[in-house]
Structure 1
Amino acid sequence: MKRTLEDNIVDGVNYFLLAIVFLVTLYPFYYLIIISFNDGVDATLGGIYFWPREFTTINYTTLIGDPKWILAFFVSVLRTVVGVVLGVCCTCLVAYGLAKKHLMFKKTYFALFIVGMYVSGGIIPLYVVLRGLHLLNSFWVYVIPGMLNIFLLFIAISFFREIPAELEESAKIDGASDLKIFFSVVLPISKPLLATMALFTGVGQWNAWLDSAYFVQNESLRTLTYRMMEVINKANIPVDLQGQGAELAAQAAQATPYSLQITAMVISVIPIICVYPFLQKYFVKGATLGAVKG
């Protein structure tokens, strides 16, 4: 089909607008990277737009050299991995049961989940419940309360309803139990759903910090996002310089609270950026298939 002048003009305008959108969305993150590699004191003067004016890695070495930040990073990674595995497994199990047509009291279960999705008891009742379960000040306070995501539950229910019943019937004829069917037949063909749920759950676990602030007092259980919020709120990072020499003191002088805050943001975003490309091909398909039916 021969292209006309109007087609070229429209395409040119579209490409121009897309380029602007790309720059507007990409540049803020690029700017954070620039500041993270720039001298903290020099960055306070402004005027940095495209590359570091005083290149340095002190911001990263200061964070990496602080044991609290290293421990917080590993706590965040651990809670994200464990939270994704248990959250996706638990949510899928419940959704698989609710997707059955002949489930007893099905409407009652749905009504309870809908009320739970839109109505929250608040932070104080949640604190009382967690205290009664002996979850306060423990690692499991990060994982157990989020094992069932009601929003993802309804997506999973709709997805499981789309699976042909003949697959399960043939497995039952071969003598497979319901759990065997779920793990050996249903989950292997649900990769788009699992990727979507893993991405939502992982981002939520990685970015969470309120539970660390309200339900944890043990400093060794603090998460990376909590440390970031600590820097933002207090506008300083406590650095113990006693006995570490003048060299570390000079480095700390070059790393300002703002530059360290930016560096922590860059570090916290990198894992999500690294994981997302591997899940992207399943993400859209899983979200749309789960929304076909209600």
Structure 2
Amino acid sequence: MRVRKSLEDWGLDSFVVIVLLLTIVVTLYPFYYILIITFNTGTDTTNGGMYFWPRDFTLENYVYFLDDPKWIKALGMSLLRTIVGTAMGVLFTAMVAYGLSKRDLVFRKGYFIVIVVAMNFSGGLIAYYVVLRSLGLINTFGVYVIPGMLNLFFLLIAISFFREIPEELNESARIDGASEYRIFARIILPVSMPLIATMCLFIGSGHWNAWLDSAYFVQDEGLRTLTYRMMQVINQSMVASSSDAALSIMSRSKVTPFSVQATAMIVSIIPILGVYPFLQKHFVSGMMLGSVKG
């Protein structure tokens, strides 16, 4: 039976629709504005007054970006860091969580105390630098992926998730002669895809967007990441317009530091947009599981 809406219902629904439309516009327009900047000449963009479409269409920003070996190397380094760092972080965090989820684990409470202390207290940047230097990670690719192999936040979520997996699955596998590593790889991981997908998305996004470690712990230009290069452009655009960096770019073409920065932003968004649709189903399930399991 169809229920007729009252005038108040129509008014409330209209208000909700208007608010949602305004939210969508406010959320999506900044991305759209950056996109049209990348297709407009940089020198023309500095004149302002461009809001909905490119005023002086060009592909020169993308050509400059792709022709610059520094940007390409930085993009490749970010991709490599994200892939390796995500794989190592998800695998190592899941393995540690699987072990800590066992209620008969020796010194289990002591491990949890260490985890809680580590989540709430830090030795600071100097102590962190000294540790990295003592491990020989300074100015190496390992400084990107090794310190983040254990994610404490997802460690607690994974422990809670693994506890909910029926122990009968593990016991039946042990009866068949399977080792703990085989049980983890063949039973635990396949039934934990919502958790794994959620961890991949968040840990991967963290690696893709990180730039502080590249600025503080790396001096080799070949190890610089895309986000670090973007921060360089931001810093260059904040200095006087007569700076050598700005003049060297503008003298060769109509590209400006800001247009290159916008182009790098669009390029950096593409991998996330390409991966998210494949993880969306598991990601939503993982977020719900993480919110109800304690």
Identity over the aligned pairs, expressed in percent?
Answer: 59
Contact kept, 8 Å, 2:250 with 2:256, in 1: the verdict is no
Pairing 1:152–2:181 present: no
Amino acid across the alignment from 2:35? I
Contact kept, 8 Å, 2:246 with 2:256, in 1: the verdict is no
Q: CA deviation at 1:135?
A: 1.0
Contact kept, 8 Å, 2:246 with 2:257, in 1: the verdict is no
- Which residue of structure 2 lines up, in the alignment, with residue 178 of structure 1? 180
Pairing 1:4–2:5 present: yes
Amino acid across the alignment from 1:145? P
- Which residue of structure 2 lines up, in the alignment, with residue 76 of structure 1? 78
Contact kept, 8 Å, 2:75 with 2:226, in 1: the verdict is yes
- Which residue of structure 2 lines up, in the alignment, with residue 284 of structure 1? 284
- Which residue of structure 1 lines up, in the alignment, with residue 50 of structure 2? 48
SS, match of residue 117 in structure 1: helix
Whole-angstrom distance in 1 between the partners of 2:80 and 2:61? 24
Amino acid across the alignment from 2:91? C
Structure 1 segment 4-43 matched on structure 2, within 5 A: 4-5=5-6, 6-43=8-45
Whole-angstrom distance in 2 between the partners of 1:50 and 1:4? 37
- Which residue of structure 1 lines up, in the alignment, with residue 171 of structure 2? 169
Whole-angstrom distance in 1 between the partners of 2:194 and 2:166? 16
SS, match of residue 255 in structure 1: coil
Where in structure 1 are there 5+ consecutive unaligned residues? 242-247
Amino acid across the alignment from 2:14? G
Contact kept, 8 Å, 1:113 with 1:150, in 2: the verdict is yes
Contact kept, 8 Å, 1:158 with 1:291, in 2: the verdict is no
Amino acid across the alignment from 2:4? R
- Which residue of structure 2 lines up, in the alignment, with residue 126 of structure 1? 128
Amino acid across the alignment from 2:229? R
Q: CA deviation at 1:287?
A: 2.2
Contact kept, 8 Å, 1:158 with 1:292, in 2: the verdict is no
Q: TM-score, normalised by structure 1?
A: 0.93
Contact kept, 8 Å, 1:193 with 1:286, in 2: the verdict is yes
The structure-2 alpha-carbon separation of the partners of 1:163 and 1:275, relative to structure 1 and needing over 3 Å to count, comes to same
Whole-angstrom distance in 2 between the partners of 1:249 and 1:123? 38
Whole-angstrom distance in 1 between the partners of 2:244 and 2:165? 52
Q: TM-score, normalised by structure 2?
A: 0.93
Whole-angstrom distance in 2 between the partners of 1:102 and 1:180? 20
Whole-angstrom distance in 1 between the partners of 2:250 and 2:44? 17
Q: CA deviation at 1:237?
A: 8.8
Amino acid across the alignment from 2:44? D
- Which residue of structure 1 lines up, in the alignment, with residue 270 of structure 2? 270
SS, match of residue 146 in structure 1: coil
Amino acid across the alignment from 2:82? T
SS, match of residue 102 in structure 1: coil
Amino acid across the alignment from 1:143? V
SS, match of residue 253 in structure 1: coil
Q: CA deviation at 1:293?
A: 3.3
Whole-angstrom distance in 1 between the partners of 2:210 and 2:83? 14
SS, match of residue 87 in structure 1: helix
